[in-house]
A and B are shown apart, each in its own frame.
Chain A
Amino acid sequence: METLEKVLTPEEQFQARIDADIRIEPKDWMPDAYRKTLIRQISQHAHSELVGMLPEGNWITRAPSLKRKSILLAKVQDEAGHGLYLYSAAETLGTTRDQMLADLHSGKAKYSSIFNYPTLSWADMGCVGWLVDGAAILNQVPLCRTSYGPYARAMVRVCKEESFHQRQGFEVMQTLCEGAPVQKEMAQEALNRWWWPTLMMFGPKDADSPNTAQSMNWRIKRFTNDELRQKFVDMMVPQAEFLGLTVPDEKVKWNEERQAYDFGEVNWDEFWAVVKGNGLCNHERLQARVDAHEEGAWVREAANAHAAKRAAREAVAA
């Protein structure tokens, strides 16, 4: 073994550990590109949790029953918790929350584009839980086995809560679909708006995703974008049918040979427009985060100033 280690470069040793499914921990040597890619991926994920609070937060004050209000608030609160775990996981790679937030606010760092769509009716709370959290689960469950230890452990905690999120979303949809005609229409209208954007959550087509191969090699990604998109369609089309809703894609059809659903092409122009900042809510989502941060500056300063005064007093006393 010793001789083998001597002939392997650090990169090769690192890759050998990954191939053997041995977790990489913060103090282990890692290639710079691995570190940078992970910081980008984890912080984007954390930002998505944070910005993701806004479209659902938009309905907390208007939820139609006390029970729904309480479930929705608990769900959005979970997302804040996910943000916290993920920012902490990213910090183990040598960045800081302040730096990550500065990158979010300047537009340098991205977050999931899905949150740049507006939530216009109560049924959107159903669609977001059912479809958006559903897509997030498909993306995230494989990350519980990702190569970087702190990220994998954060994802285990996150995924436990995500399944509750999806269930409550589905239940909102089911209640609407079993309700009055006006409720069923509300559900269908929301599905019409959310279906395609959720398919976009898996990212560009594999052919247009040049980093996928490296990420798969590093096991910080375990399925390609197109594989996940297919899984999602295969999972959701029967659920929509169960609800009595129609997915807004005429090309959706079971393919006996592939044992999977065929489906139409995502509107990639829209996808890139939203990624580049031109979705309906890009401006206000980011502005809401910047405003909260700037308007909260005096609070954070006061807390720091008080902690310093207290520490100084305790030092004198001791």
Chain B
Amino acid sequence: MSATLPETPATSVPAAAPNQLFPFVLQLADTSLILAHRLSEWCGHGPVLEQDLAMANIALDMLGEARSYYQYAAELEGQGRTEDDLAYLRSAVEYRNPLLVEQPNGDFAHTILRQFLFDNFHYHLLRKLKDGPNAQLAAIAEKSVKEAAYHLKWSSEWVIRLGDGTDESRKRLDKAIATLWRFGSELTTPTATETALQEIGVLPDYAALLTEMQAHTEHVFAEATVPLPAPVFAQLGGKTGRHTEHLGYLLSELQYMQRTYPGLTW
């Protein structure tokens, strides 16, 4: 699929955009940070050394991407806040990540399925953003899309291995699907902010992404010999600050130092 975005130069983004752009860039930042944090919890405890390395590697990519978004968000806001202020000094209700990425690691099958659902969206979104009209987002996406392509390859291959592996791995993958599938739709369900950005062409239409995502999912699940899960009731809310209970604990760990020793440099 080719980009459906208008060929507008960055300078002609409508003046209303920054108001919508700040919360959206923050949403991208929170999403990458929270998933990086979850993946980093595996560090030293992976099922085999090579996969320990792979998860740390993906976590590092996503952390780097998160930092780029936070720095851009801070610039857009123009209130003197830094990347660390945004990451460490906002409460759970202020966080804008979708519910999927804050879900606990569970076993390796849960981690893989969470990653697959996210990567499938992330990669296809970045492909559009890199050719989009917002120069900063395009630059970040240009760098991240190569990493995201690798992430999607990695998680897709593991869905296939676990689905078409042993009885046990299949059982565990099924359980992960039962737990996590309901969080997948939030990624492509636009919030008011996202709709506004779609209307001015800064964001692609998610319906176009969905077609590509769906095709990839069908391909991977067929290889994995796993029937496509039936649609389930979609859980939404993270992108507007209504989270599951898991996020509070994650943030209390993530923010521990900054909250305990306010205002210091590390």
Shortest CB-to-CB span from A293 to chain B, Å, is: 8
Q: With A and B bound together, what is the CA distance between A81 and B253 in angstroms?
A: 27
The 8 Å CB contact of B46, one of A84, A296, A298, is A296
In the complex, which residues of chain B have a beta carbon less than 8 angstroms from the beta carbon of A64? 257-258, 261, 264, 266
Q: With A and B bound together, what is the CA distance between A103 and B59 in angstroms?
A: 31
User: Do residues A84 and B49 form an inter-chain contact, with CB atoms below 8 A?
Assistant: yes
The 8 Å CB contact of A77, one of B41, B47, B56, B70, is B56
Is A53 positioned at the interface, with any CB of B under 8 Å from its CB? yes
Whether A66 contacts B84 in the complex (CB less than 8 A), given A61-B37, A309-B164, comes out as yes
Is A4 positioned at the interface, with any CB of B under 8 Å from its CB? no
The 8 Å CB contact of A298, one of B56, B57, B169, is B169
User: Do residues A80 and B49 form an inter-chain contact, with CB atoms below 8 A?
Assistant: yes
Interface bits A29-53 vs B (CB < 8 Å: 1, else 0): 0000000000000000000001001
Interface bits A276-315 vs B (CB < 8 Å: 1, else 0): 0000000000001001100111111111011001000000
Using C-beta atoms within 8 Å of the partner chain, give the interface range for chain B: 35 or more
User: Do residues A288 and B161 form an inter-chain contact, with CB atoms below 8 A?
Assistant: no
Interface bits A58-89 vs B (CB < 8 Å: 1, else 0): 00111111111110011011001101100100
Scoring A291, A298, A309 by chain B CB atoms within 10 A of each residue's CB, the highest score goes to: A298
User: Do residues A292 and B47 form an inter-chain contact, with CB atoms below 8 A?
Assistant: yes
Shortest CB-to-CB span from A82 to chain B, Å, is: 11
Is A54 positioned at the interface, with any CB of B under 8 Å from its CB? yes
User: Do residues B44 and A76 form an inter-chain contact, with CB atoms below 8 A?
Assistant: yes
Is B66 positioned at the interface, with any CB of A under 8 Å from its CB? yes
In the complex, which residues of chain A have a beta carbon less than 8 angstroms from the beta carbon of B166? 298, 301-302, 305
User: Do residues A66 and B43 form an inter-chain contact, with CB atoms below 8 A?
Assistant: no
Q: With A and B bound together, what is the CA distance between A172 and B41 in angstroms?
A: 22
User: Do residues B60 and A66 form an inter-chain contact, with CB atoms below 8 A?
Assistant: no
The 8 Å CB contact of B165, one of A63, A68, A302, is A302
Q: With A and B bound together, what is the CA distance between A179 and B257 in angstroms?
A: 14
Interface bits B62-91 vs A (CB < 8 Å: 1, else 0): 011011001000000000000110011000
Q: With A and B bound together, what is the CA distance between A300 and B47 in angstroms?
A: 7
User: Do residues A296 and B43 form an inter-chain contact, with CB atoms below 8 A?
Assistant: no
Is A316 positioned at the interface, with any CB of B under 8 Å from its CB? no
Give the dominant DSSP class at B's interface.
helix
User: Do residues B56 and A73 form an inter-chain contact, with CB atoms below 8 A?
Assistant: yes
Shortest CB-to-CB span from B45 to chain A, Å, is: 5
Whether A122 contacts B266 in the complex (CB less than 8 A), given A76-B56, A296-B47, comes out as yes
Is A183 positioned at the interface, with any CB of B under 8 Å from its CB? yes
The 8 Å CB contact of B168, one of A77, A182, A301, is A301
Is A215 positioned at the interface, with any CB of B under 8 Å from its CB? no
In the complex, which residues of chain B have a beta carbon less than 8 angstroms from the beta carbon of A303? 161, 165
In the complex, which residues of chain B have a beta carbon less than 8 angstroms from the beta carbon of A295? 47, 107
In the complex, which residues of chain A have a beta carbon less than 8 angstroms from the beta carbon of B33? 66
User: Do residues B165 and A306 form an inter-chain contact, with CB atoms below 8 A?
Assistant: yes
User: Do residues B66 and A306 form an inter-chain contact, with CB atoms below 8 A?
Assistant: no
Q: With A and B bound together, what is the CA distance between A306 and B173 in angstroms?
A: 14
Q: With A and B bound together, what is the CA distance between A299 and B164 in angstroms?
A: 12
User: Do residues A77 and B165 form an inter-chain contact, with CB atoms below 8 A?
Assistant: no
Whether A288 contacts B67 in the complex (CB less than 8 A), given A70-B60, A183-B264, A298-B166, comes out as no
In the complex, which residues of chain B have a beta carbon less than 8 angstroms from the beta carbon of A204? none
Q: With A and B bound together, what is the CA distance between A183 and B45 in angstroms?
A: 30
Whether A298 contacts B168 in the complex (CB less than 8 A), given A50-B49, A62-B257, A292-B47, comes out as yes
Whether A292 contacts B46 in the complex (CB less than 8 A), given A180-B264, A302-B162, comes out as yes
Interface bits B227-266 vs A (CB < 8 Å: 1, else 0): 0000000000000000000000000011011100100111
Is B191 positioned at the interface, with any CB of A under 8 Å from its CB? no
Scoring A53, A81, A83, A302 by chain B CB atoms within 10 A of each residue's CB, the highest score goes to: A302
Is A175 positioned at the interface, with any CB of B under 8 Å from its CB? yes
User: Do residues B45 and A302 form an inter-chain contact, with CB atoms below 8 A?
Assistant: no
User: Do residues B168 and A302 form an inter-chain contact, with CB atoms below 8 A?
Assistant: yes
Is A118 positioned at the interface, with any CB of B under 8 Å from its CB? no
Interface bits B33-62 vs A (CB < 8 Å: 1, else 0): 100010011011111111111001101100
In the complex, which residues of chain B have a beta carbon less than 8 angstroms from the beta carbon of A70? 60, 63-64, 67
Is B172 positioned at the interface, with any CB of A under 8 Å from its CB? yes
Whether A80 contacts B47 in the complex (CB less than 8 A), given A66-B84, A175-B265, A179-B264, comes out as no
Q: With A and B bound together, what is the CA distance between A292 and B55 in angstroms?
A: 14
Interface bits B136-176 vs A (CB < 8 Å: 1, else 0): 00000000000000000000000011101110110010000
Q: With A and B bound together, what is the CA distance between A87 and B50 in angstroms?
A: 12
User: Do residues A65 and B266 form an inter-chain contact, with CB atoms below 8 A?
Assistant: yes
Q: With A and B bound together, what is the CA distance between A87 and B51 in angstroms?
A: 15
Shortest CB-to-CB span from B74 to chain A, Å, is: 12
Shortest CB-to-CB span from A167 to chain B, Å, is: 16
The 9 closest A-B pairs by CB, nearest first: A296-B47, A302-B165, A302-B169, A64-B257, A299-B47, A53-B44, A64-B266, A57-B44, A77-B56
A-B contact pairs, 14 of them (CB 8 A): A60-B40, A60-B43, A65-B88, A66-B84, A70-B60, A73-B59, A73-B63, A77-B60, A84-B53, A175-B265, A182-B264, A183-B261, A296-B46, A305-B166
